[in-house]
Amino acid sequence: MEDLTTTGVADTVRLTTSGAATARAVVDAALARIAAHDGGLNAVSQLVADRARADADRLDADRAAGRAPGPLHGVPVVVKEELAVEGLVTTFGGEGNSTPAAADAEVVRRLRAAGAVVVATTTMPEFGAWPYTESSSRGYTRNPWDRSRTPGGSSGGTAAAVASGMVPVGLGGDGGGSIRIPSAHCGLFGLKPQRGRVTSAPHEHLWFALGTAGPLARSVLDSALVYDVVRGHTEVDRWQAGPTRSFADAARREPGRLRIGWTTKPVTLGVRPDPVHVQAVHDTARLLADLGHDVREVDPRYPDPTAAFVPQFLGGIRAEADLVEHRGRLERRTRETCRLGAWVTPRVLDKALALTEKVSEKANRVFDQVDVLLTPAVAHRPAPVGVIDGKGTVRSALAAMPAIAYAALWNVAGNPAAAVPCGPAADGLPVAVQLVGRTDDEATLLSLGAQIEAARPWPIVAPAYASSTGAGAA
């Protein structure tokens, strides 16, 4: 009997394709873990148990008939509730929609085509506006490492589900750090890919040039395996990334000797990083030097991304709010955000997008000196739940600054960036650093992240959930 709580993507596929476990047994085990643990975490928004079991049975029948399995055969996954899942309401974290989606978003379709089984959608703050997963509709989502703390956001539901062992992997989104922040808070590996690497279809964009979808996973290889399934643009997408190699191959390959620059200087003025995070950067820099890399402190001379970021942030939320069926059901803070963003006209957005290119050019100058930039992933420790409870747009934005202080620039610049776990700190909560790569160079981040993972293994799931329900091979 395998304990599927700690089994990742690659090992799950090994079990389901070898006959050591059926897809149905794996899915039933995931559903049992959700039933056992979600009441204390509030990670799941909509459960799709009946369809998940039917999809798993179909996969088992296909295998029995000799049909070739997909690369994610029988892997249970969760999907952030901003991505359309056929038959479920695309809630965007609120109550603005009521009609179930007629079709999957393209990334969800690709997951299913590869053999993954969608078991649930996951909680998020409305429209993903904040790096804390709480809202008047969904309440608080809690961190599996300490349920009095936030898992971060906006992909906090996905992070909590994966970090607690409910599923091996889940889809999130990142428009200002929303894959990396919850990954950092929950001890996961979370890569924001290059702009245009993952399709936003059926939509032309996600928050214009800022956003992308992607997995949150418990290992570098698991993330890479999922990216190799979901990456690739369509004719719908406004932005398209450049060519790249297999992500899974990159995660299995040594990175070679790299020039790595480190800094603890935040992009956001007035934000001071927690000493725990400063120490994590110093410790990781020493580890990388011991591994043979050329490691040096650098001054990235960050450009100010505010004038490029804010119009796209406000315009993105307004665009999504315009799509919902029941605008009057949006939470008060969201309606306030839309009002405050009324000045973001198409002309303003065009200027912001033009400025985005200038910010990207300036931000990328650091890569004239180094191959990878090492920074803190976030400035603060995971905060108590309720960070933005009762706050309006402006106060919520101020509360968000420590979370996005190192992350949001790279949404504007478009570069790949990853949160890499460092293990728990003295307070018992996870710590992470951020690795930032050159344009289109996710491969180096995956190779380097896997090398760090091998040299400094991190806990697979939050300790309180590490011996949860497994499954037999029935």
Active site residue 265: no
Task: Please report the beta strands in 11-129, taking only residues with DSSP state E, as ranges in sequence order.
Answer: 44-47, 76-80, 117-122
Task: State how far the Cα of 106 lies from the Cα of 69, in Å rounded to an integer.
Answer: 20
Q: Any idea what DSSP says for residue 232?
A: B
Contact 350, 312 (CB under 8 A): no
Contact 30, 119 (CB under 8 A): yes
Q: Any idea what DSSP says for residue 111?
A: H
Q: Distance from first CA to last CA of the chain, Å, rounded?
A: 10
- Of 432, 442, 73, 414, the C-alpha closest to 253 is 442
Q: State the catalytic residue, choosing from 45, 135, 137, 154.
A: 154
Residue 414 tokens, joined:
């478009």
C-alpha to C-alpha distances, 132 to 3, 181, 286, 432, nearest whole angstrom: 31, 9, 32, 17
Q: State the catalytic residue, choosing from 137, 155, 178, 183.
A: 178
Residue 285 neighbours by CB under 8 Å, 6+ apart: 260, 262, 295, 297, 374
CB neighbour burial string for 435-445, b if at least 16 within 10 angstroms, e if fewer = bbbbebbbbbb
Q: State the catalytic residue, choosing from 80, 137, 447, 468.
A: 80
Task: State how far the Cα of 23 lies from the Cα of 5, in Å rounded to an integer.
Answer: 15
C-alpha to C-alpha distances, 310 to 53, 68, 341, 344, nearest whole angstrom: 43, 47, 9, 9
Neighbours of 48 (CB within 10 A): 21
CB neighbour burial string for 89-105, b if at least 16 within 10 angstroms, e if fewer = bbbbbbbbbeeebeebb
- Of 428, 410, 210, the C-alpha closest to 419 is 410
Residue 411 neighbours by CB under 8 Å, 6+ apart: 174, 175, 176, 177, 192, 209, 210, 211, 309
Omega into 202 within 30° of 0, i.e. cis?
Answer: yes
Q: Any idea what DSSP says for residue 463?
A: G
Active site residue 468: no
Active site residue 136: no
Phi, then psi, of 414 in degrees rounded to 5: 95, -5
Neighbours of 287 (CB within 10 A): 16
Show which residues are catalytic.
Answer: 80, 154, 178
